[in-house]
Amino acid sequence: MRHRHLRSLLTAGALLAATAACGGGATTDASAEKTLTWASTGGQFQEDEKKALQEPFTAKTGTTFVNVSPADPAQVKVMVAAGRTEWDLANMSWIYAGAYCGELYEKLDDPGLDRAKFPPGTTHDCFVPTYRYANVFSYNADDYPNDPPTKIEDFFDLKRFPGKRIVQDYPKNGLLEAALVADGVAPDQLYPLDVERAFRKLDTIKSSLVFAPSYGAVQQMLVDRQGSMVITVTARSIVTAQSGANLKAVWDFTTTDIGALVIPKGAPHKALAQQGIIFVTEPAQAKAYAELTGTAPARADVDISTINYNDVQKAFNAFLPDRGRLAEQDKPWWIANTDDVVKRWTSWKVS
């Protein structure tokens, strides 16, 4: 019964992943010992990873990279089951690594990995953050020219602020936490989440919620003026604003989260992959990546004021000064409860 929903997600893509995971023979050339296979999202996000994270590691160590996409957890399951793991590093949700730590994902045990350098609550046996982001509450300024939203409660005030609210169709999108804070829960008292109370609050705006199937859909809906408010991730907020939407952030209450590189169980070059994780979180690489993406460095000892963000990136960066109340999404709680919350979310949408 443990992690039943996650297991179903892993199984859903298994047949499609099997051919890719098990096709082709293993490389025997000696140069393969200095090659890492890196799975990620593709597109501009992976191009930024290449420039800021991979190329400097190549320059320092001579390691080359093979890039593949997407980083599908179902494919990890197939590769591990077949004993033919081909990926060394994967950029995917930390929930999978947390739920299947030691089973489908390697524990990070390199003595050079200093977890004390990362913010509290952001590390685990099987992952550390490689960058930080937020679930940002924003609005279309053209829709509220004279009386704009200023607090999280305004997202739930349909009378004063009419219009559709766009969110990604996944409950770990910051919406549950936002509902609870808008209902009077203090940010430092959010966890364990009172899920039923959150859904009662969401009931009050259900008719105005638009559930987008992907971050790309969130962006397109906003550009097309299909919604007046949104809660979505830092990078997508930036790209949406750059795409022409007159988007403005509301800095009152915001949930924060992490991106992570994880190592699939049986990775061909686990030791080198761990060195790569240590390297990409070092200040120089962390700053370079932050400047490309608008996200925040993972390590607490990197001064965010030294990062050369552009104006749009600054406008949606929750980690800069005077950005209201922040709450890090609780990693152990989400790992333990994601199955039940997803089931509740799915039934609530159709009820």
- Burial class from Cβ neighbours inside 10 Å (0-12, 13-18, 19+) for residue 138 reads buried
- pLDDT at position 33: 76
Q: Is 135-256 a CATH 3.40.640.10 domain?
A: no
- Using one digit for the tens of pLDDT, what is the confidence trace for 294-313? 999 999 999 999 999 999 99
Q: How far apart, in Å, are the Cα atoms of 71 and each of 41, 81, 84, 87, 231?
A: 6, 17, 16, 9, 24
Q: How far apart, in Å, are the Cα atoms of 350 and each of 52, 177, 230, 344?
A: 43, 21, 21, 10
Confidence class of residue 24 from pLDDT cuts 50, 70 and 90? very low
**In CATH terms, are 4-131+257-328 and 135-256 the same topology?**
yes
**pLDDT at 141 exceeding the cut of 70:** yes
Phi (first) and psi of residue 319, to 5 degrees: -95, 0
Confidence class of residue 8 from pLDDT cuts 50, 70 and 90? low
As beta bridge partners, residue 68 has 39
Buried b (16+ CB within 10 A) or exposed e, 110-129: eeebeeebbbeebbbebbbb
The dotted CATH code for 4-131+257-328 is 3.40.190.10
Q: How far apart are CA 52 and CA 94, in angstroms?
A: 21
Q: Nearest 5°: CA angle at 43, between 69 and 260?
A: 65
Give helix 270-280 / helix 283-293 axis angle, nearest 10°: 70
Q: How far apart are CA 121 and CA 351, in angstroms?
A: 35
* 340-348, long-range: CB < 8 A, 24+ apart: 340/195, 341/171, 341/172, 341/176, 341/193, 341/195, 342/5, 342/170, 342/171, 343/5, 344/171, 344/195, 344/199, 345/170, 345/171, 348/199, 348/202
The region, left, alpha or beta by phi > 0 then psi within -120 to 50, assigned to residue 90 is beta
For the chain, the domains span 4-131+257-328, 135-256
**pLDDT at 247 exceeding the cut of 70:** yes
**pLDDT at 14 exceeding the cut of 60:** no
- Using one digit for the tens of pLDDT, what is the confidence trace for 152-172? 999 999 999 999 999 999 999
- Using one digit for the tens of pLDDT, what is the confidence trace for 167-195? 999 999 999 999 999 999 999 999 999 99
